[in-house]
């Protein structure tokens, strides 16, 4: 097989890139280790930045999102049993909050790419990048037990943290930055009615909690926990007790409970790999950077990467301009580090860290109160939340 751009990974980065390249008249093939069903049914949260919503509409992918997504004017911050609405729409000139789960986005992307006649090879194994430092890179893999190779002009590792993409950059040429947080999230899905009209982020008593919605009948909630804890230690009753405590107020509001049909614990970390390119290999999404979900940046950063990359590849293929490809890593990393900063800010401000002093904890509450009392602080949070402009 041969294509202009070979992509490993059918997540947000790989799928958006393939669609953007198709719009520019550039051929691509995606290979993916999971089945299509596994890709589409792995439940992930999803807050879309304003420009991502606009991009989906530009690509003709917005119909189901506009019908089934949830659109809010802002978010709610809570501490000391009091809530404060952050008017994100008013602070950003009309850019609101869109909640549309990542797995639903992936369903839309896969359907659209296949409808275009695009090639997505699911269920492959042993993917490996070859000769990425030459003019003829390729991707080797096995399908149904038979070895295959895709010859490419350029290759993209959109293959997540554990994929082969980052490892194809020599260790001596890459620098990896990482922060492991001493807490994780216990997430649940529950069949329950809507309790609040927008997302609530709270730091109260035992720490963080998040209330969000998936549909009028299904809610998504998280609580801070020990990342090494066993989910078996968390009965449904214990989970609801902690959610009621951490989301509790003094104004008579009550959290609507219901049957929990999914629960699990995820660790939190921040990670960045520099550079995001080597030879004719380019990294995008989680293969190059991880953010804690508190800032709602994961999917959005992946799409930002491939928007930059698609424009650079269009300049190369159409106008024989290599300069944008040469600057890809530097251009992306400016945005990545700003998103890492915002995600770190939201995470440290909203979680109880037993390794911090009481002084540091009080500073976090002061940060929250500054958002309440300072329009400049509120605007900064709002602008970061809906997505900063591109350089």
Strand order in the sheet with 70-72: 47-48, 97-99, 70-72
- Catalytic member of 181, 201, 222, 328: 201
- Report the half-sphere exposure of 40 (CA within 13 A, side-chain side): 9
Of these residues, 22, 50, 70, 72, which one is catalytic?
72
Active-site position among 293, 328, 351, 364: 293
Q: Cβ(256)–Cβ(195) under 8 Å?
A: yes
Clarify whether 293 is annotated catalytic: yes
Beta strands in the chain (DSSP E): 2-8, 28-31, 47-48, 70-72, 75-79, 82-86, 97-99, 119-121, 125-130, 138-143, 146-157, 175-191, 200-204, 207-213, 218-225, 260-274, 277-278, 281-283, 289-290
> Is residue 20 a contact partner of residue 55, using CB atoms and an 8 Å limit?
no
Please report the sign of the dihedral spanned by the C-alpha atoms of residue 31, residue 34, residue 39, residue 42: negative
Annotation marks residue 100 as catalytic: no
- The residues facing 377 across adjacent strands are none
Terminus-to-terminus CA distance in the chain, angstroms? 37
Backbone angles phi, psi at 67, to 5 degrees: -85, -40
Q: How far is the C-alpha of 286 from the C-alpha of 289, rounded, in Å?
A: 5
Q: Is 201 a catalytic residue?
A: yes
Q: What's the CA gap between 325 and 318, in Å, rounded? A: 13
Alpha carbon of residue 238 to chain centroid: 29
d(CA 361, CA 350): 10
Q: Is the dihedral of CA 258, 66, 7, 37 positive or negative?
A: positive
Positions marked catalytic: 72, 201, 293, 297, 385
């Amino acid at each position: 097989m041969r294509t202009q751009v070979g992509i490993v990974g059918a997540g947000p980065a790989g799928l958006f890139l393939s669609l953007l390249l198709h719009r520019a008249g550039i051929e691509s093939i995606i290979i993916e280790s999971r089945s299509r069903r596994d890709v589409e049914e792995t439940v992930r949260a999803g807050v879309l930045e304003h420009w991502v919503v606009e991009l989906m509409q530009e690509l003709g992918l917005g119909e189901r999102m506009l019908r089934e997504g949830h659109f809010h004017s802002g978010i709610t911050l809570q501490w000391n049993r009091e809530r404060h609405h952050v008017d994100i729409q008013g602070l950003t000139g009309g850019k609101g909050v869109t909640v549309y789960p990542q797995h639903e986005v992936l369903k839309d992307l896969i359907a659209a790419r296949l409808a275009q006649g695009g090639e997505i090879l699911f269920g492959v194994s042993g993917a490996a990048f070859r000769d990425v430092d030459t003019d003829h890179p390729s991707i080797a893999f096995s399908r149904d037990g038979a070895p295959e190779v895709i010859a490419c002009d350029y290759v993209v590792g959109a293959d997540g943290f554990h994929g082969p993409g980052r490892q194809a950059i020599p260790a001596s040429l890459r620098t990896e930055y990482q922060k492991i947080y001493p807490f994780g999230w216990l997430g649940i899905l529950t069949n329950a009615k809507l309790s609040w009209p927008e997302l609530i982020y709270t730091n109260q008593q035992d720490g963080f909690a998040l209330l969000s919605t998936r549909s009028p009948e299904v809610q998504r909630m998280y609580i801070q926990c020990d990342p090494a804890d066993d989910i078996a230690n968390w009965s449904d009753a214990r989970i609801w007790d902690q959610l009621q405590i951490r989301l509790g107020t003094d104004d008579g509001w009550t959290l609507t409970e219901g049957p929990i049909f999914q629960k699990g614990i995820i660790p939190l970390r921040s990670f960045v790999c520099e550079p995001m390119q080597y030879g004719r290999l380019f990294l995008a999404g989680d293969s190059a950077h991880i953010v804690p979900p508190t800032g709602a940046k994961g999917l959005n950063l992946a799409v930002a990467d491939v928007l930059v990359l698609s424009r650079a590849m269009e300049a190369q293929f159409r106008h024989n301009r290599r300069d944008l490809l040469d600057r890809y890593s530097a251009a992306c990393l400016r945005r990545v580090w700003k998103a890492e900063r915002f995600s770190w800010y939201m995470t440290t401000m909203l979680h109880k860290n037993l390794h911090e002093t009481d002084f540091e904890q009080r500073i976090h509450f002061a940060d929250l109160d500054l958002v309440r009392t300072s329009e400049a602080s509120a605007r900064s949070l709002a602008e970061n939340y809906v997505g900063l402009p591109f350089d």
